[in-house]
Amino acid sequence: MSLTTGEVYWSSVVYEFFGVEPSSFIPGQEAFMAMVYPSDREKVAKALHAMLETGLNDITYRIVRPNGSIRWLHEMADNTSPDNPHIIFGTMHDITAQKALEEKLRKQAITDDLTGVFNRRYFMKRLRQAFSHFRRSGQNAAVLLFDVDYFKTVNDTYGHATGDLVLQQLCSLFKERFRVTDVVGRLGGEEFAVLLFEVSSEDAMAIAEDIRQMLAAKALTTKSGSTCHISVTCGVARFAEDDPTEESILHRADRSLYLGKHHGRDQVVGDGDH
């Protein structure tokens, strides 16, 4: 790029990155910015402005090609050549595959392999964050703690493969019912926790009861193709000002869950019920 004329030269490889033809596309700042992924434009614009002042650039961003595909690019540039101080030379690399691998590894690190919901470690991280936010803002939130009733009997009767299938179908129901802002995690075995935001105690209880009823009426598929029915018990705990830590919220939900299982299972118990 010439700092005096503003002219931009792209190699044939860069045209390939952007999915455009040299014969029909003239590289320039306006045309380039139009192809930058919308949420990356501000970052890229600041980097370009800094590059014009310093002659240096090192940035990673996304573009949207004419066919709608999204690519990740890493760009480095400088004008440190003493022979051409008014010319900025740059290199560009397509790092889409690298970014895809990073995202895959990130998801694997936070996701339960069997069910596809979040794992315990990530759920607890989100619970800590939510509790910290609650202490600052007072935003309503609640935890639902679900446990599949008599899950050992399911495994003993139908086999562990069906047990796994039942948990997967349960989590599919969770994904259908809960909002994208809610956090669903598998704490271990047949126990699942859900973090709900902006809900009252009544709302949290109603949501848990809705899940319980939906599951009670649903026929789940076994590995052999037959059907079976299960029930769940749920303990509910809303965030409270006197909670010393996020663990205390989970403890209250667990205590409610224990009472529900002790008094017959297949029910929802809130921490105000005892």
Instruction: Cite the DSSP H helix spans in 159-245.
Output: 160-177, 201-216
* Cross-strand pairs, 236: 144, 270
β-pairing verdict for 268-270 and 232-238:
parallel
Among the listed residues 3, 61, 68, the one whose alpha carbon sits nearest the alpha carbon of residue 33 = 61
Q: Is 103 a catalytic residue?
A: no
Among the listed residues 265, 145, 162, the one whose alpha carbon sits nearest the alpha carbon of residue 216 = 265
| Sequence-distant contacts of 125-132: CB under 8 A, at least 24 apart | 126/183, 126/185, 126/195, 127/183, 127/193, 127/195, 127/246, 127/249, 127/250, 128/246, 130/183, 130/195, 130/197, 130/239, 130/246, 131/239, 131/243, 131/245, 131/246, 131/249
Q: How far apart are CA 244 and CA 223, in angstroms?
A: 45
**Residue matched to tokens 């047990």:** 163
Which of 7, 42, 103, 190 is an active site residue? 190
| Sequence-distant contacts of 8-17: CB under 8 A, at least 24 apart | 8/32, 13/92, 14/92, 17/63, 17/71, 17/73, 17/92, 17/94
Residues with catalytic roles: 190
